[in-house]
Every structure is written in C-alpha cells, then in structure tokens.
Amino acid sequence: MNRNDQQWNIWAALPLGARVGQNFKVKGDPVELTYKQFYEITGSTQHAEFERYLKDVLFDPTERNKFYARLNEVNHNLGIDTFKPYFELYAAERKSHQQDYTPDSVANLLALLTRSDAGVFESSKYSGYDPTAGTGSLIIQKWHDDRAQETPWSYAPHRYLYRADELADNVIPYLIHNLAFRGMNALVVHGDVLEGRVKQVYFIQNSNDDFMAYSDVNVMPHSDDCAREFGVTEWLEDEIKHIESQKVVWRRALPMKRKALEVNPDPKPGAWSVDPDRLLLKHVAVIERAKKGKDYPAGTVVVQLSATKGQVGLLKSSGEIASHYAAINMIEFIDPYFAWMYLQREIPKHFRRVQEGLNVPLEEIGNCPFSFPIEAMIALQEAANGQLEMVF
C-alpha cells in the first residue's frame, strides 16, 4: 500500500502508545490510575509509604523496572501524565508553591502548535524544554506528539533529548519516574531556573535506544563543565554519585517523517481544515451509496445520507440496504464492530462540521476522521460475541 494514499499511523497504534488521534476508551484501559491502584502496585497503605517507595526504587533499576512493568499492566496509555492526577490530589502544595499543573488538553494543544519539520527539529538543542516542569505533563505531551508523527522504522529515541527544570523537592521523584517509564532521553534540572541555584542534574537515558524499553537514571557530576552547560551558579547539595548507563546502543532508523504544523493564512469563519496526515475513513473502507437489489454482506456499516442526523448502523446478516444510506465495507483487518462503535461517535460530530442542509453528500462520509488502536479492536471484537445487529 502507498503511504501517500493510506496515511497509516502504525506507530500510534502500538501498545506503548494506545492513545491514537482520538481517545477511544475501552473497559480495562483507564485514563488515569487511582490511589488504590498505586498503593496496590507498590504495596503501600498510605501516601507517605507510596512516596517513600518512589524514592527507594529511584536508583534501583531492577525494582524500578518491575514497578514500571506493573504500571504498564494496569494502564499502558503513556500519552498522558501517569502521576499528575494523584500528585495534585494528594501531594501538591497549592498554597505555598501554587502547584496546580497544566491540563492535558492545554499540553496537547501546545505540543501541536510547536511542531516543526525534520530540518528545524534536528537543529534544535532540545526536542522540548519546560522550565517549570512539575510532574512533566508538557514534556510528555511533546514526546507523545513527536513519537506519533513517526513510524516504528523512522522513530529512534536517540534523536530526541528533552529538558525539564523543577524547583520543588516533592515532585522530583514523580517527574523522573514519568520520564524513565516512557523510555525517554531527558535532563532533569532540580533547582531554581531563574537564579541557577541547583541541587542535582539527572540524566534519563534510553541506553538501548529501544522505544519499547525503560530508561536508565543517572546523576550528572557537579563539575565546572556541567555548571556551564546547565547555567548553575551554585550547587545546593552534595554530589550524588550514581551512574546506571554502561554500554549505549545507537540504532539505525529511516529518515524522520515529521512535518511542521501548517497554518492557514486566510481562514474562513466556520471552515474546517483537515490534517493532511490524518487517517480518514476513505483510506480504510470502500464506500458507496446503497444500490437497489444489491446484497450486502454481514458487517457492512451503514450511514443515513438523506434527512440525516448522523445515524449509523451495522448489518447482522447479509441483505439489501435502502438507497438513502451509504454502505461502508472496511478493509480486511479492521473489525466492522469496532468501526461501527467508532463511527457512532465520530459521524455525528463530522456531520455537524460539514452538513449544510438535510442531506450529506456521499463523498463527505469518506472524509470522516478514523483512528484504530489495536487494543480497542481486540477488546471490542471479544465483547461483541456475535451480537452484531442493525441498531440506530
């Protein structure tokens, strides 16, 4: 298949990045972990024990990676901050340090607005920089957006280096775990970004250059070179001597495919623009206006075109379809039950953007955005259990 025609986002459909285009939530894949889940994973019974655990495993790669593996079993959605909801509820010092962190929607928007093409990106010192990082929400969204623009063959962690500065002591373990959990390459400067008074500089390194691996946690020396590099005017703590990275792998990858965000210089009120790299329904389905006398197979998705409010149905068994419907047959490896569930949500939203009267042109059906996380397809197919039927 030609990528220019199909516009696949295979990378974003991998288990490590379950959030693809739109958040399609299925049972067993929570958006955020509860305190009970954190405590069960770490063997804690209260907040103080949980924070002690985070600190105890910070420099213990064996136990730390076991912790990450248990987190990943409960929620593998790494496109959003793992610890922020918990931290804000149980650990944030709102009055003394104004610790209210960036909402995911704002972080997502900033990541989108700061996209650059491969040339500009490679010439930048850092892939992303947050001088007041908190638990890392902005950096995580930037990392996720960078990763989602590539394929498994054009993405290599060694091409990316993020920097996160943070003053507050209580949030540093959460920040480091958030970055190492995702296999990022990042620098964490624990100190005052304005005055340059710093306690430690941590180097989070994906030593295997493997996007499915966790990162090592290293601590940079308190040398003159480090002080110059990170703008340190004063070291506030004794140097922590801790290096985990030994042999570092550098994997080859295809050239970057990333593109800068295109801005319309002459936008029209009410007009809706389509991301040229976004997967559309027409890329993964054969779509036609239903024909009289034609027998359509079971699993055909139907969308009402005339006097429509975006009704979407699914055929339980083969049969004819009235001519005021569009008949949609998904390509082989996309489960029709998943497509029906997804389009029930997306088609009405799409129609609100493009519908000008009672009817919708057939070609607009194909322009509906479409995303398909692999986990959701499997879960929905198991949930169906043969209960496919025509439902409006």
pLDDT for the residue 262? 76
Is the predicted pLDDT of residue 325 greater than 50, yes or no?
yes
pLDDT band per the 50, 70, 90 thresholds, residue 136: very high
Inform me whether the pLDDT recorded for 110 exceeds 50. yes
Task: Compute the average pLDDT of residues 232-257.
Answer: 94
Q: Which of 7-11, 18-22, 121-125, 230-234 has the highest mean predicted lDDT (pLDDT)?
A: 230-234
**Domain positions in the chain:** 33-74+81-235, 281-384
The pLDDT-based confidence of 5 (bands split at 50, 70, 90) is very low
Query: In this model, does residue 274 exceed pLDDT 70?
Result: no
Mean pLDDT of the chain: 83
Taking a C-beta distance cutoff of 8 angstroms, is the pair 141, 46 a contact?
A: no
Asked if pLDDT for residue 233 goes beyond 70, the answer is yes
Length of the chain: 392
Decide: pTM greater than 0.75. no
pLDDT > 70: what percent of the chain?
81
Residue 292 has pLDDT above 50, yes or no: yes
173 φ/ψ sector (left φ>0, alpha ψ -120 to 50, else beta): alpha
CA dist., res. 71 & res. 188, Å (int):
22
| CA neighbor of 353 nearest in space, from 311, 312, 310, 324 | 310
> Where residue 71 falls among pLDDT bands split at 50, 70, 90?
very high
**How far is residue 307 CA from its own chain's centroid?**
37
Element (H, E) at 162: strand 162-166
pLDDT tens by residue, 196-206: 999 999 999 99
More confident of the two residues 192 and 95: 192
**Statement: 281-384 belongs to CATH 3.90.220.20:** yes
CB 57 within 8 A of CB 64: yes
Q: What is the DSSP string of 305-374?
A: -TT-S--EEE-SS-B---TTEEEEEE-TTS-HHHHHHHHHHHHHHHHHHH--SS---HHHHHTSB----H
Question: What pLDDT does residue 318 have?
Answer: 93
- CB-based contact 60:54 (threshold 8 Å): no
Work out the pLDDT band at 333, boundaries 50, 70, 90: confident
What is the pairing mode between strands 285-289 and 312-314?
Answer: unpaired
Which token pair is 313? 């149905």
Q: What is the H or E stretch that residue 230 is in?
A: helix 224-230
d(CA 305, CA 136): 45
Averaged pLDDT for residues 50-64? 96
* pLDDT score at 387: 41
Across 339-352, average pLDDT = 90
- Residue 17 main-chain phi, psi, to 5 deg: -130, 70
Number of H helices, E strands in the chain: 14, 10
Q: Coil, strand or helix: which one is 98?
A: coil
A 10 A CB-CB count for 59 gives 15
- More confident site: 219 or 21: 219
Sign of the CA dihedral running 358, 361, 364, 365: positive
Helices 47-56 and 35-42 sit at what angle, rounded to 10 degrees?
50
